[in-house]
Amino acid sequence: METDIKKIENIAKLKEKENWAFRSFLKGYDLTVEELDSIVNELNTAVSAEIDCTRCANCCKKVSPVFHEKDIQNLYKHIGISERDFQKQFLKKDLDGDLVLKACFCPFLKDNLCTHYAHRPQNCESYPHLHKKDFVFRLIGVLENYEICPIVFNVYELLKAKFRDHFIYDE
């Protein structure tokens, strides 16, 4: 199980073409969406049990969640400032018009722990989203998170190993 984020980043660069090829393989392979979801869910459960996210917190350093209205309300009320001040201080609109953090490094992260964990946005709570349905339709996001999250990295590598008899990568 690889957890060293620097190694993961280096491996991600080396395996970029292979990972995209595997994405194409999964999209065309003769498995139902539910069958693939079940395999990924099983791998995610096993890998997640072995990885302590608080030793890494790389997602909080590299990814900004989308803030929905409920997320904003939970946080600004908990912090004790107005919604307007919260948005002005912490949020900006991205290219899609979604509200995200002004900086990728989460301002609520301290010593790899969320200082507002019970009030964190839904996207943070759900990260890295491997438990969600329709894995095959979210593979671009999986590949984006492959170099960021040790859980995603290990699940994707185990998934490739599971299909090694069917997925032949030839650069």
The string of pLDDT tens digits covering residues 25-51 is 999 999 999 999 999 999 999 999 999
Name the pTM for this structure: 0.91
| Whether the Cβ atoms of residue 57 and residue 115 lie closer than 8 Å to each other | no
pLDDT range class, residue 169, cuts 50, 70, 90: confident
Residue 167 domain-assigned? Answer: no
Residue 95 domain-assigned? Answer: yes
Q: Which domain holds residue 100?
A: 64-108+116-121
Give the chain's domain count: 2
- The pLDDT tens digits of the residues spanning 56-74 come to 999 999 999 999 999 999 9
- The pLDDT tens digits of the residues spanning 77-124 come to 899 999 999 999 999 999 999 999 998 899 999 999 999 999 999 999
Check the CA dihedral 89-94-97-100 and report its sign.
Answer: negative
